[in-house]
Amino acid sequence: MRRKLSPSASISTQKSMKNRPKNTEPSPTQMDASETLLIEELKSKVSELEASYIRVQDENQLLHKRLHQTSLLYKIAAMLNSTYDTTKLYNIIQNMLSDISFVRHYALIERTDSGSVNVLFHTHTKDRSLAHVLDAEKEVAEKVFSTEKESYVISVNERKDLLKYFPMKTEGSIVALPLTFHKKSSKVVCYFAEHSLSDGEKEFLNLITNEIGVAVERALLYQETFEISIKDGLTGIYNRRYFNDRSQREFNRAKRYKHILSFILMDIDHFKKFNDTYGHKVGDEVLVWVAKNLSKGLRDHDVLARYGGEEFIVILPETDVKGAAIVAEKLRKIIDEQSVQINHLFVSQNPHSTFHTDRVTISLGVASFPKDGATLEEVLERTDQQLYVAKSQGRNQVGYEE
């Protein structure tokens, strides 16, 4: 059934349609403006994200770099504490410095007692562009020694006097950091990089150098202390303590490998008369002079020690009694023929004495393992017996038995 509308309802509907709001959809112009704004906002966000990503990447790289440097620093500290031997220590330092990626060249340079500059070690490279970098580092090290500055950082391209060393380089940095011992700088570590160093890199090199300084000072102090413990304070040659240890080691080695080992025991003739006539000061000078001249007549691997009082002893590895006797005769001649050099001491101390007309001479006894004894004690006792023979037969001679 179809429903009919009354006239009033029709009029009401028409009024309602007239009062309905018009369509509110944006115009094309309005839509373009809002989209552009949205796009710009998105671009801005993307740019911010990209910047954040780059920043995070840079920070990540920096963290990795610092982690590597910290790890290297701990590694260096551990390795540097592993030895007191300076030769081994310098090898460790070289290996450690070679791991620093931004350092292209390094050198440890010292100032000797005479004031000259000596290179203890440096990078060995075939890079021709670095052929003269060591010369530049030495020049910078000399400036550190002369000015005693705590650090020296130089940009190569800002120093005309250094450009001659870098004909193929347009930029680079040399860092010279002194190792200070007892408030004195006797050694300098030099680093060369092919760029301007960042503050972080400079700080890292400072930390590395501090560790090196502590390790080197400790090793040198140990070496100095060890030298004092094994050297005779007056003559500078080995003392009895060192001889006892070294002779036992050499004897054990000779016995194990069936090698020959000889000893020469020496005594300064009439030494008591030197002391009684001229005083202990002259006696000490005679001891020093004899030790110095004995050293001249020995091979590098022979061991000279002060045995006690005016007695000296030599260890001669892999030398038979005949060979040792030849060495002993050589030593006797050196002292006898050169003693005129020291006679002035006797004249100056006691010009009225006739004793100064005599020369300083030594008597020597020689014995060998296994010929003269099966134990170290037996060989040394035989050496002493042969010295007594030389003295009893007129002194200034060598006692031994073929």
Catalytic residues: 310
Handedness of CA 214, 216, 220, 225 (dihedral sign): positive
Sheet with strand 398-399: strands edge to edge: 303-308, 311-317, 261-268, 362-369, 398-399
Strand partners, 118: 110
Q: Determine contact, residues 266/310, Cβ cutoff 8 Å.
A: no
Residue whose entry in the numeric block shows the structure tokens 């250094």 = 162
Report d(CA 174, CA 122) in Å as an integer.
Answer: 14
What is the number of helices (H) and of strands (E) in the chain?
12, 10
Among the listed residues 180, 226, 228, the one whose alpha carbon sits nearest the alpha carbon of residue 206: 180
Strand partners, 119: 109
Checking DSSP bridges between strand 362-369 and strand 398-399, what pairing results, if any?
parallel
**Alpha carbon separation from 29 to 39, 41, 43, 192, 373 (Å, rounded):** 16, 19, 21, 64, 119
Among the listed residues 191, 226, 227, 195, the one whose alpha carbon sits nearest the alpha carbon of residue 206: 191
Indicate the burial class of 54 (C-beta count within 10 angstroms; 0-12, 13-18, 19 or more).
exposed
